[in-house]
Amino acid sequence: MKPSFAIIGCGRIGRRHAEQIIKVGTLVAVCDIVYENAFELAENYGANLYLAIDELLENEPGIEIVSICTPNGLHAEHSIRSLKAKKHVLCEKPLCIHLEDAKKMLYAAQNANRQLFVVKQNRYNPPVVAVKKLLADFRLGKILSFQVNCFWNRPNSYYSDTWKGTKKMDGGSLYTQFSHFIDLMYWLLGDVKTVKAITKNFEHRVLEIEDTGVVIIETMGGAIGTLNFTVNSYQKNMEGSFTIFGEQGTIKIGGQYLNELEYQCIEGEPIADLPAGNPANSYGFYQGSMSNHDKVYENLVKAIADPTHEMASAFDGMKTVEIIEKIYAAKI
């Protein structure tokens, strides 16, 4: 029997979730404080409409999984309410924007005996999957250094009349634009030991957050590297890349969205015949990461049925938040 879902937050990302939910389950209810958004999604998918999360949770006891697609600053509150109502939760990235809230979310999941996952769709990019296997098989040897580049474009219009760009609801560009890169750094290379950072706001005076940053990082494993990020790439996204230098090989995942294997020189057989990846998420006048929400939902259903199935966990999401907090606290 297919699982039943609810969506909290019916904006652009909520609509993307709905497209994938109906492939693996049934969308029973949707909720948004903006009536027009909730009505459109409910009408399109034959779902029940709610304007308050508590009303949805009270009136829909049969729902098994809640997808949280609200602004960053509401992820913790909405996830915890859903967990307390005995629902499994899939939370959009970032898990939240404060480490203390992340800990409360993990406690709520444990206390409710329900599972909490976070959307990290770049883990399913074909080049990322291939490099993860290389590292798991120790084919690159000891990792010496790395470089992560995130050169995207977000015009001022992206931030106008919205929660984006605010400290309270956005938290920072490392949360909204680049938390996927932080997650991959943690997933591929392990935890972070020390950081130093410089951030600036050059072109987006409407923002309460940074639009550019440079970070120096040392991992627990001893590798050193840099994270360079900006939303000031002229007119369009330029690059999303991850380069790793090991004792037995060098490899670079590149393209605009970590979607291409740009360079490899490794010991043994090279990576070959990678499957084509999905296109980037399109949001009208800008593009986001590679569109892998289909794989997120396929793996979500498997992970709920089998807790040993690998899926980006709440703990993984918490580690991303912890690393981002560490970066912001280390600004010089």
Instruction: Please give the model's pTM, rounded to 2 decimal places.
Output: 0.94
Query: What class, spelled out in words, does domain 4-118 have in CATH?
Result: alpha beta
122-288: CATH architecture = 2-Layer Sandwich (3.30)
| 106-119 average pLDDT score | 98
| 281-295 average pLDDT score | 65
pLDDT of residue 290: 56
Measured CA to CA, the distance from residue 243 to residue 12 in angstroms comes to 31
What the block records as the tokens of 251 is: 């490899």
Q: Given phi > 0 = left and psi -120 to 50 = alpha, else beta, which region is 284?
A: left
Residue-range domain boundaries for the chain: 4-118, 122-288
Amino acid identity for residue 174 in this structure: L
Give the model confidence (pLDDT) of 188-223 as tens digits: 999 999 999 999 999 998 889 999 999 999 999 999
pLDDT of residue 55: 98
Measured CA to CA, the distance from residue 127 to residue 35 in angstroms comes to 40
Give the model confidence (pLDDT) of 154-190 as tens digits: 999 999 878 999 999 999 999 999 999 999 999 999 9
H/E element, 256: none
The CB-based long-range contact list for 307-315 (8 Å cut-off, 24+ gap) reads 307/115, 311/117, 312/117, 312/118, 312/119, 312/120, 312/123, 312/183, 313/116, 313/117, 313/118, 314/91, 314/95, 314/102, 314/105, 314/106, 314/109, 314/116, 314/117, 314/118, 315/106
Does the structure show a pLDDT above 80 at 262? yes
Does the structure show a pLDDT above 90 at 124? yes
